[in-house]
Amino acid sequence: MITGDPEVAVDALLARLGKRIACGTPLGLGKPVPLVNALYARARCDPQLHLSIFTALSLEVPHAAGDLERRFLEPFAKRMFGGVPQLDYMRDLRAGTVPANIDLNEFYFRPGAMLGVAAAQQGYISSNYTHAARDMLARGLNAVLVMVAERDGRYSLASNPDLTLDAVSAMRAGGVPCAVLGMVNRNLPFMTSDAEVGADYFDVLVDAPRLAHRLFGVPNPPAEPQAV
């Protein structure tokens, strides 16, 4: 199934799996943020829907802690991260407003990123990269959401083929209902070999030009003076 609407994809996911979704989504760049946000919003509005999210390195655009820092950081962040969508669950996690029917579990944080965020520390999974797929499956993984590249009708898991391939293979071999959802972003690098998969790899594929957002990138160019 191919759709241009994340809400349609979420409808299909819930129709297949019901009210318990244990969702794995790649670390860092591979998260399909609009699709994850749509699923999170659905669970936020429905207390009967239990959603567990398993991931690592949930990227956030930096925010200022004070006025002086804000005056420097806001124009810089606008230049460097403008158009990068934000994860709604991270906003709620920091505000302490994640609903009781949603569990957030990560196995890697940026150093110091979650100091003082008790819910994040309580949901932390102490797992190294080698065992991450195994540990997600042990917690009932039944859905994988991933951002993918596309070229001439071909699809690539881009920078996240490793855990995705292992987790999906084991999940599908488990003999229980499960789903793999992809969201196309043609700004992703197209990696070949084992990272390349067919359209039939996905139970639902979301493809819409409006979702092809700018990628989150660590700033590395030299700072240039800006006119005031």
Task: Summarize pLDDT for 76-109 with one digit per residue, the tens.
Answer: 666 666 667 888 988 998 888 999 999 999 888 7
pLDDT of residue 71 exceeding 80, the answer is no
Stretch 141-164: mean pLDDT: 88
Query: What pLDDT is stored for residue 201 in this prediction?
Result: 92
pLDDT of residue 49: 95
| Mean pLDDT in residue range 204-225 | 74
Residue 205 has pLDDT above 90, yes or no: yes
Catalogue the long-range contacts made by 189-194 (C-beta closer than 8 Å, 24 or more residues apart): 189/149, 189/156, 189/158, 189/159, 190/149, 190/150, 190/151, 190/154, 190/156, 190/158, 191/149, 191/156, 191/157, 191/158, 191/159, 191/161, 192/156, 194/161, 194/165
Question: Domains of the chain, with CATH numbers?
Answer: 2-211 (3.40.1080.10)
Q: Of residues 12 and 58, which shows the higher confidence score?
A: 12
Query: Residue 51's pLDDT band (boundaries 50, 70, 90)?
Result: very high
pLDDT at 30: 81
Q: How many residues are recorded in the chain?
A: 228
- Residue 204 CA to residue 182 CA, distance in Å, equals 6
Q: Quickly state the pLDDT bin for 178 (edges 50, 70, 90).
A: very high
Name the least confident of 59-68, 147-156, 157-166, 207-216: 59-68
Which has the closest alpha carbon to 56: 133, 161, 143?
133
The per-residue pLDDT for 216 is: 64
pLDDT at 203: 94
Higher pLDDT, 74 or 191: 191
Burial of 84 (0-12, 13-18, 19+ CB in 10 A): middle
pLDDT of amino acid 204: 94
